[in-house]
Amino acid sequence: MMEVESASSLVELKKQPRIRWTALLVWSTVGSTIGSALPCGYCMGVINTPAVHMRSWCQAMLLENYGLEISPAALDTLWALIVAIYLIGGVLGSACAGWAANRFGRRGCFLLSGALLLLAALMFASCRWLRSVELLLLGRLVVGVGGGLVSTCLPMYHSEIASLSQRGTLGVCCSVGFSIGMVVSQICTLQSLFGGEELWHIALSFYVVFMAVCYAPFRLYAESPKWLYIVKERRQETIQMLLRLRGSDLGIEQEIRAMDDEASDKGTTRSLSEVLGDPRMLLPLVLLCAYQGGQQLSGCSAIFYYSVSIFHNGGLSTSAAEWMNLAAGNVNLATSLMGPLLMAKFNRRTLMLLSTAFCGLLMFSFGWMVEYTAHIPWFSYGTMASIFLYLIAFQLALAPMPSFIGAEMFEVPSRSVALSIGNQVGWGCNFLVGFLFPAMHTLLGSYVFLVFAMCSFLVFLLTKFYLPETRGREVSKVAELVSRGFRSKVLQ
């Protein structure tokens, strides 16, 4: 069955005309990725290394401003809130992303998220000067709202400016941007740069440098042809945009026909209640939410937020843990850069099955070895190897695919709402892990990582039985495959 499925996908790909990589397409993708996804990934990882200095500052400010001397347990709770409020913002941003994407366009959401990221940077830069913990919390919330918009709208934007043969390559760019941002944040927060006691607030806001470069030529970026054609019904403007994106009229008629198929009998946009009430949306929504939530519940968030303390508890010195954290970030980035090639050359199902299986096995091994490190000292090397191998397996599919798989399963009228729902689930699960991981680790010890392993195995099973192959297929054909809910015959 898998052979038939792979063959049919390859046949459809071969039917597609070879499309040029025009300057407009490349610059729109690179500029939007570095200008928005990179800052969001940066903010996700930036508070890992300077945590000890920021915790001390928060404790001192509460004592100075309110005469409140908090206990270590209360400080842990406050710190977990500072980490996790970014994710609450992500849920809020994702909730309004569907409306914003239809109202302002995919490119307009890029500008809106930039305004929020800039406002948050000003808060970060001034919170230490104004001696305000509240401003730090508010900045983390605002940047999270911007991140929610980016994680929902940017993959949609990249998938819609790409041709069918380019869709997999461009679809992973948002995930790559997040990975680059996390590595940049790890470099900027080294003690020798901005991670010290006096400069951590500069580290929090340093991402504006990348924004300044990429937002300056904002008016030169392409708008989504699908948004112009299906949502705004501007046919002539759509044709002109496609000509600029493709560099010729080759295949444009075919793209217009595909857009007609997506829009036919479905209206230009669908509301939340219409999407949730449509039984044909059940399976794709379950898949999208499972991938978005499973991505976070597989354990990646715990590693990204608490890797320094995890390495430190594994027996490394503070300095060694800091450098090991940077090494882990670079492994994560190097593997993520392979994403465009992997998505262009291999089927989605194959990559997701491999990724989820190995993530589950490696997280299980990590938890088991951490439990017995005190009795078998050399297990500490195994725990570090498990983290690095986990990051490689994670970037095979579980990291990049959830951000764009929705664009390959939902037609344009339902797409923005569906991606908004999926991202709310993803950010919500990210919040649960970021906020509850310290308490869960205290309660369960290393067995908490076995819970993460089970989540990966559950996503593996869902993929095996219910994910259709989307590579090289028009969205309307994929939507038809999953239209019968859990009775769908997806391996066709």
**Which domains are assigned to the chain?**
22-487 (1.20.1250.20)
Query: Which tokens in the block code for residue 19?
Result: 């499309």
Q: Would you state the pLDDT for residue 13?
A: 47
Residues 239-269: tens digit of each pLDDT: 898 888 888 877 788 888 888 876 665 556 7
Q: How far apart are CA 391 and CA 423, in angstroms?
A: 21
Q: How far apart are CA 312 and CA 254, in angstroms?
A: 56
Q: What's the mean pLDDT when you consider all of the chain? A: 83
Compute the average pLDDT of residues 188-201.
Answer: 82
Q: Would you state the pLDDT for residue 10?
A: 45
Please answer whether residues 474 and 164 qualify as being in contact, where contact means their C-beta atoms are separated by less than 8 angstroms.
Answer: yes
Measured in residues, the chain has a length of 492
**φ, ψ dihedrals at 80, nearest 5°:** -60, -35
Q: How far apart are CA 237 and CA 314, in angstroms?
A: 58
Q: How far apart are CA 116 and CA 211, in angstroms?
A: 12
**pTM listed for this prediction:** 0.75
Q: Would you state the pLDDT for residue 457?
A: 94
More confident position, 379 or 122? 122
Residues 391-422: tens digit of each pLDDT: 889 988 888 888 888 888 888 778 878 888 88
Residues 154-163: tens digit of each pLDDT: 888 888 888 8
- Residue 469 DSSP one-character state: P
More confident position, 209 or 338? 209
Q: Would you state the pLDDT for residue 78?
A: 87
Q: How far apart are CA 102 and CA 405, in angstroms?
A: 19
Provide the pLDDT confidence category of residue 374 given band limits of 50, 70 and 90. low
Please answer whether residues 326 and 187 qualify as being in contact, where contact means their C-beta atoms are separated by less than 8 angstroms.
Answer: yes
Q: How far apart are CA 145 and CA 59, in angstroms?
A: 26
Residues 468-485: tens digit of each pLDDT: 888 878 888 888 888 888
Compute the average pLDDT of residues 227-231.
Answer: 85
Please answer whether residues 149 and 100 qualify as being in contact, where contact means their C-beta atoms are separated by less than 8 angstroms.
Answer: yes
Asked if the model's pLDDT at residue 379 lies above 50, the reply is yes
Asked if the model's pLDDT at residue 14 lies above 90, the reply is no
